Amino acid sequence: MKKASLKDIAQKAGVSTALVSYVLNGKERETRVGEAIAKKIREIALELNYQPNHLAKSLRSGKTHTIGLIIADISNPFFANIARVVEDEAKRNGYTVIIGSCDENADKSWDLLNVLINRQVDGIIIVSSEGSESQIQYLKERKIPFVLLDRHFPEIQTDFVATNNYKASYDAGIHLINGGYTRIGIIAYDSKMYHMEERVRGYKQALAASQIRFQDEWLKQVRFDKMEGQVRIAIDQVLSLPEPVEALIFATYGLAINGLRYINELRLKVPQDLAIVSFGQAEVFDLYYCPISYLRQPLELLGKTAVEFLLAKLVNPEEEVRQILMEARLIERESSRAKK
């Protein structure tokens, strides 16, 4: 079956192909096409099942109306939800999103970047992985529009939309201290990524502000690719100290899930034996027998703002660099209730 063309619609409507083109591209107001005619053209296009040729359109405009999104870990509900927000917001603005997950791996991130560049996306939103600074420099040199989401490199001047991780972690620490906990541990990734360092810094600052001396054994850092086994070892270590920790902050959702699974196996009671606060929101935290206190990052706003920044850059590549830190909110649940 032959595909319907603009010419077919024009013939059936008794108007010029240019007029049809204006209407189907949403430009009837600019060209003062009458409403009745515009409606008739749309109905005929629908009836003939007209499909616009995006390839031809992009060849004419030099724009593909697609943006790339590289996220760190699709199995993390935080990133899955952010991807959905980015997709919805982009669609509202007439853009399609191509999504890839790099699994916290810089090589995989580089492969995805190349695929997106070869697909000639108009711009890219990136949740960076460790060791990917050279990729960001490459995009800057090539003048490929991009915005960093959730993570950024303070030494590289780029557009970014992220959470104030220092403050979020500080709030978690103060909340536990106010609840009467003084031996507080944190399990984080063994990573030089700025957002992770900021989460550790915020936790340490909360202790210092409350005159609690930080102990090196309270900080446990695990590798993303060896997470399950190393989280178990970390929990064993903080619980077998001469004075075991009474509370734990998990620096990511993935760490929390692995940790809670092991805490269950050990038959420990939360919060009686161990109080918990975690980063990252997920339904799972509500389903646990003891609802988990967590730091709610404004993912809706993060995703929408990243798209907004990128689209502004596509309109005006010389746009000033825009950087924003958003506040997370501590949602207090049963898992960190005050000691009796």
Tell me which residue has tokens 């917001």. Answer: 89
Tell me which residue has tokens 């900021």. Answer: 198
Please list, in sequence order, all residues whose beta carbon lies within 8 angstroms of the beta carbon of residue 38, skipping any fewer than 6 positions away: 23, 28
pLDDT cut 90: percent of the chain above it: 68
**Can you tell me the distance from the alpha carbon of 326 to that of 61, in angstroms, rounded to the nearest whole number?**
35
The predicted pLDDT at position 6 comes to: 80
**Can you tell me the distance from the alpha carbon of 108 to that of 129, in angstroms, rounded to the nearest whole number?**
9
- For the stretch 130-171, pLDDT in tens is 999 999 999 999 999 999 999 999 999 999 999 999 999 999
**Can you tell me the distance from the alpha carbon of 196 to that of 271, in angstroms, rounded to the nearest whole number?**
25
pLDDT, the chain, mean: 90
Is 41:24 a contact under the CB 8 Å cutoff? yes
125 closest CA partner among 158, 163, 92: 158
**Can you tell me the distance from the alpha carbon of 115 to that of 111, in angstroms, rounded to the nearest whole number?**
6
Structure tokens at 200: 């550790």
Structure tokens at 228: 């399950």
**Can you tell me the distance from the alpha carbon of 139 to that of 109, in angstroms, rounded to the nearest whole number?**
13
* pLDDT surpassing 90 at residue 339: no
**Peptide bond before residue 52 is cis, with ω within 30 degrees of 0:** no
Please list, in sequence order, all residues whose beta carbon lies within 8 angstroms of the beta carbon of residue 66, skipping any fewer than 6 positions away: 95, 96, 97, 98, 119, 120, 121, 122
- For the stretch 35-94, pLDDT in tens is 888 888 888 888 888 776 655 555 455 577 899 999 988 888 889 999 999 999 999 999
| Residue 63 C-beta-side C-alpha neighbours within 13 Å | 12
The predicted pLDDT at position 282 comes to: 73
User: What residues does 67 pair with on adjacent strands?
Assistant: 97, 123
Expressed in percent and rounded to 5, the helix, strand and coil fractions of the chain are: 50, 15, 35
Write the CA distances from 308 to 147, 303, 313, integer angstroms: 10, 9, 9
The predicted pLDDT at position 283 comes to: 76
Spell out the domains of the chain, with CATH numbers in brackets: 6-52 (1.10.260), 64-163+299-327 (3.40.50.2300), 165-297+330-336 (3.40.50.2300)
Confidence of residue 31 (pLDDT cuts 50, 70, 90): low
Look at residue 104 and give its three-state secondary structure.
coil
Is 117:144 a contact under the CB 8 Å cutoff? yes
**Can you tell me the distance from the alpha carbon of 126 to that of 289, in angstroms, rounded to the nearest whole number?**
35
Most distant CA atoms of the chain, gap in Å = 88
- For the stretch 258-315, pLDDT in tens is 999 999 999 999 999 999 999 987 777 878 889 999 999 999 999 999 999 999 999 8
Report the relative pairing of strands 293-296 and 329-331 from DSSP bridges.
Answer: antiparallel
Angle of CA points 42, 46, 48, to nearest 5°: 115
User: Taking the mean position of all CA atoms in its chain, how far away is CA 133?
Assistant: 18
206 closest CA partner among 243, 249, 162: 249
The predicted pLDDT at position 57 comes to: 55
Q: Give this prediction's pTM.
A: 0.80
The amino acid at 54: H
**Can you tell me the distance from the alpha carbon of 192 to that of 250, in angstroms, rounded to the nearest whole number?**
17
Dihedral angle over CA of 162, 165, 167, 170, nearest 10: 170
